[in-house]
Every structure is written in structure tokens, then in C-alpha cells.
Chains A and B, each alone.
Chain A
Amino acid sequence: MTQGYYGRPIVKPPAWSDLIPTYFFAGGLAGTAATLAFAERAAKNDRLARTLILGAAAGCAVSAFCLIADLKKPERFLHMLRVVKPTSPMSVGVYIFSAFSGSVFIAASSEVTGIARSAGRFFEAIAGIIGPIMSVYTSVLVGDTVMPAWYLPRKTLPLLFAATSASGAGAWGLLFAPARSNGSARRLAILGGTAMVAALQALHRELGPKQAEAYTKGEAGALARSARVLNISGIVCATLAKNSNALSKIAGALLLAGGLTERFAVYRAGCASAKDPKYVLEAQKA
């Protein structure tokens, strides 16, 4: 039986394109990569720090492209900077992203050119400190909507975003740094990947069986199952990858693919929970 008014959505699904979940992936990865770069620099592991700060820069470049290209009026991108609105996570996010990506680009430029090393290191530290906020603020952005699949998991969605970011940053290190210097990236990939799989289970529990269907059925469910296979394979490879360049790269590739697929699964779940009115009606039952 169709619910509501001819089964039509009560709330509108996002008018965003797939650039937005891509941004969540790239921006999350960049944030945590910068933090690990900062920590590795402090631990005098310059090789891995270099890979990670360049990874953060790549993530920021992809993010900036996605954010601007997805606007219906891209030429008005700068209108975001005409106000500061604490009630809008997107407004707050624009400033987090601007400060973060600015710091990352200065640090990465200095790393590549060797110019102004101390300024580069300073901004690398700034990026490293902002990094975790950059990685999780997007959970507030999607949580502050009326999509039941994003609105309801108040506790677990930020943890899932943090875990996916950790896994992504670790995977980047595994993929692009040599095995002899990628130890902490490997540990972060294993920790983040495991946390991601666990956080998704916790999210299902927080939602309860009816609301969790948005994550387990349809396209979102298929993506989530693929992500799970990729992530668990990636964790296993990463665990075995110590001192192995080949296994490190396989693990990195699997976890990057798993993280991206996971982001799309979460995104599609949000859309699904808007398209079928049963989720809104269930959530608002007296």
C-alpha cells in the first residue's frame, strides 16, 4: 500500500550531484591526511609526511572542484563568503575548508619547491590541527537536514565520518609511500577501516530496524555491501602488508575504493529515506 499522498515524497531528496559524496570522501581524506602528516613530521618521518601532505593537497583540489562545480550557479561561489552564519553548517564549513585548504596548499607548495620551509611547516601544523574538524564537519552538514537517514543517527554518523576519513588517509599512505616508512599509515588504515565497519553496525542499531532499511535496501544497501567487502579485504591486506610494497599498495587501493563506496552508500541512503515517505512518517509517529 502506498503511504501518504500517492506515495510521493514528503521531503525533497538532495538536488546535489554525485560530486557531493565525492567531496565528502576527498575532503575527509584530506583532513586526516594533514593530521597524520603533521604527526609524522613531528616523529621525523619526512618521507611519509611528504606523501600525506601532498595527498591532502590533492584531496583539497578535488574538493574545491566538486564544491564549485556542483553549485547551480558556480559563478556565484563567492556569495558564500559574504556572510558568516553559525546556524548554517555549510557556511561554517566554507570557512573551515578555506582555512584548511589554504594551509594545506601553502605547506604542500613549500614541500615541493623547498621555498619558505619554516612557513610551510607552520601551515602544515595548522592544517594538521584543523584536519579532524575538516573530516567530521560534513556529518553535521548532512545531519542538519530533514533526510531521516542523516538526521536520526545523531551519535554514530560523526563517528562513521571520522572512521572513513582515517581509513582513507591511511590508505593514501599505503598506496603512495614505500613500505619501510608507511607504518603509521598502515596502523591508521587498519584502525580506521575497522572503526568504519563497526560504526556502520552501530549506526544501524541507533536507527532501529525500520529506519536502517534506508541503509540496507536498494542501491544504498548494494553499495554498503560492496564497501564492506572492499574494506574487510583491505584491512586483511593491510594487516599482512608489513614491509611489503605490493601488499601495501593493494591494501591502500582496496580501502580507498571501500571508503569512496561507503560515502556513496551513506549518500544514497539519505536520498532513499527522502524518496519513500515511510521513513519520514515512521520518524514522526506520535
Chain B
Amino acid sequence: MGFFTDTTLCIGCKACEVACKEWNKLPSDGYEFTGESYDNTKELNGNSWRHVAFIEQLGQERDTSRWLMESDVCKHCTHAGCLDVCPTGAIIRTEFGTVVIQDDICNGCGYCVVACPFGVIGEKQEDHTMGKCTLCYDRLKVGEQPACAKACPTESIQFGVVDELRERAEKRLANVQARFAGAQLYLNDPNDGVGGGGSLFLLLDKPEVYGLPPNPIVPTKDLPLRWRTAGIAAALLFGAVVLCAAVRE
């Protein structure tokens, strides 16, 4: 199961942020005023599992403008870096195909934080484990949809089976392409660097405009190569030590 976030429909109401915080009992991030349009949440982290981005754009002649809004969330990657590197097995792939951190197993080592190509994961302030969107695992188990999708008043956040969402996203893109020159789908390609996302997006500009990586790659892709080069380095090191001990001046 996954999300299709259609940013053309987002009105920036942040109902998703609030519904997520309420359902998952996540604490506030404080009341800092950023001055960055209407965004005072700033980022996804251990306490904010939905984050609405606001981008104000002016035309070249500064006579036209548009306001982009996008509700960001964990991508529930097909090839999930966080899941690969978690050393305790706290991060699992659920029966719904989603990626979930079990907070009774996580020991807060923080490896997942640096293995996520999207910067989604952070420390939860209250119990010091790592936190991110669970796609409302508890709600899915009883046949409900995630709190954010339920709360979204414009169906910008759509919940469903990923394959169906991909089809829906393609259709929607074809529909809006004529009106929005920069419209594009994000993470809908199963052959991209993370094997496609369980969360896909219809964006109106380049991914980096929304703070998303343009070409995300799961770090573990290179792991066999890395172990090989490290093995060579270790062999050289062993050789160097033996050489230093064998030479007698």
C-alpha cells in the first residue's frame, strides 16, 4: 500500500500534519517562525512525519506568480536504505509493503538517518528512538486508511495499492500536462535508484525545488564494491605491517 500525493490539489492547509501528529501522538516542534512562506515545520524528522512545503515563485517579469505546496512524507522505498542498514532489525518491511521502525527494538544508533536519500528520519524527542511515517501501520491493520489521507480535504493525498496509484498518477499527469509545463511524476518508476517509492508524487516543478533529491540512489547499491575495495585496503595494510616488522635496520 502507498500514497499518491498530487501536489496540484494541495491547498497547504496542513490538516495532514495535524492529523498525523494527533494520531501518532507526536510532540510539537515548537513555535519558531521561519519566514519561509507558510512553512514553519521546516523538514521531516522524528517528530514530524508529514511536512507541507510552500514555494513562492515569481515569473521572469515579476508580473505573474504561483504558489506551490507539497505534503512530503516517507517514501517507503522499494529498496530502502534505512531498512538495509538497520543493525538491530528494528526496521521492517510490513505485510503492506511499507517500511516501519519498531520503537521497542530501535536502540537509537542513528544509522538509518544517514542512509535515507530523502532525509526523512530523525530522533524522536520523547523516547530517543528514531522516528518516521509508519503509513499508519496500526490503522492499516484494522482496514482503515492513514490519518493524513483521511484528513486531506482535497484528495491531494490519496491512499491505495501502489500499482493502482501509479496508473492513477499517469492519468492525472496526462490530464494536467497541458496546463502546467513543469508537471512531472516523482518516484513512479520502479527502475529508479530506490526501485520506485511506495509514496509517489505529482510535482509541478523539478524535485529539488521541493527539497527532494533529483536522482535518489539507495546507498547499499555499491555495498559489494565497497567491501571489495576495503578488503584490498585491509590486505595492503596487513602487508605493510608485516613488511615493517620484517625489515631490520
Contacts and interface: CB of A to CB of B under 8 A. Distances in A.
A119 interface: no
A71 B88 CA distance: 12
B76 to A, nearest CB: 17
Contacts of A90: 85, 87, 109, 111
A145 B107 contact: no
Given A80-B107, A166-B241, A188-B240, A146 B115 contact: yes
A43 B245 contact: yes
Contacts of A118: none
A151 interface: yes
A233 interface: no
A36 interface: yes
Interface residues of A, number: 79
Nearest to B42: A8
Contact of A39 (B245, B248, B249): B245
Nearest to B110: A15
Interface string B171-204: 0000000000000000000000000000000000
A85 B226 contact: no
B123 A146 contact: no
Nearest to A81: B88
Interface in A60-99: 70-74, 76-77, 79-80, 82-83, 85, 87-91, 94
Contact of A158 (B55, B222, B232): B232
Nearest to B107: A76
Nearest to A16: B110
Given A10-B213, A146-B219, A284-B214, A87 B36 contact: no
A140 B107 contact: no
B86 A85 contact: yes
A74 B128 CA distance: 10
B137 to A, nearest CB: 20
Contacts of B217: 146, 284
A68 B161 CA distance: 41
B146 interface: no
Contact of A12 (B121, B216, B225, B236): B121
A32 B237 contact: yes
Given A12-B114, A35-B241, A136-B237, A242 B211 contact: no
Interface string B113-130: 111111101110000111
Contacts of A73: 106-108, 128-129
B229 A35 contact: no
B247 A187 contact: yes
Contacts, number: 232
B237 A135 contact: yes
Contacts of B39: 6
B90 interface: yes
B246 to A, nearest CB: 7
A36 B241 contact: yes
Contacts of A102: none
Contacts of B81: 146
A60 to B, nearest CB: 18
Interface string B69-104: 000000000000100111111100000000000000
Given A32-B241, A36-B244, A87-B220, A72 B110 contact: yes
A72 B236 contact: no
Nearest to A68: B107
B9 interface: no
B142 interface: no
Contacts of B212: 10
B81 to A, nearest CB: 7
Contact of B211 (A4, A132, A140): A4
A211 interface: no
A280 B90 CA distance: 27
Interface string B30-43: 00001010010011
B230 A137 contact: yes
Given A87-B84, A132-B234, A144 B220 contact: yes
Given A79-B107, A154-B222, A91 B116 contact: no
6 contacts: A14-B113, A72-B129, A85-B84, A89-B223, A91-B87, A158-B234
Given A83-B88, A90-B85, A151-B222, 4 more contacts: A11-B114, A14-B110, A72-B109, A281-B208
Interface of A: 3-6, 8-16, 32, 35-36, 39-40, 42-43, 45, 70-74, 76-77, 79-80, 82-83, 85, 87-91, 94, 131-133, 135-137, 139-140, 143-147, 151, 154-155, 158-159, 161-162, 165-166, 169-170, 183-185, 187-188, 191-192, 195, 242, 274, 277, 280-281, 284-286
Closest 10 CB pairs of A and B: A72-B108, A5-B211, A76-B107, A39-B245, A158-B233, A132-B234, A83-B89, A284-B215, A91-B87, A72-B128
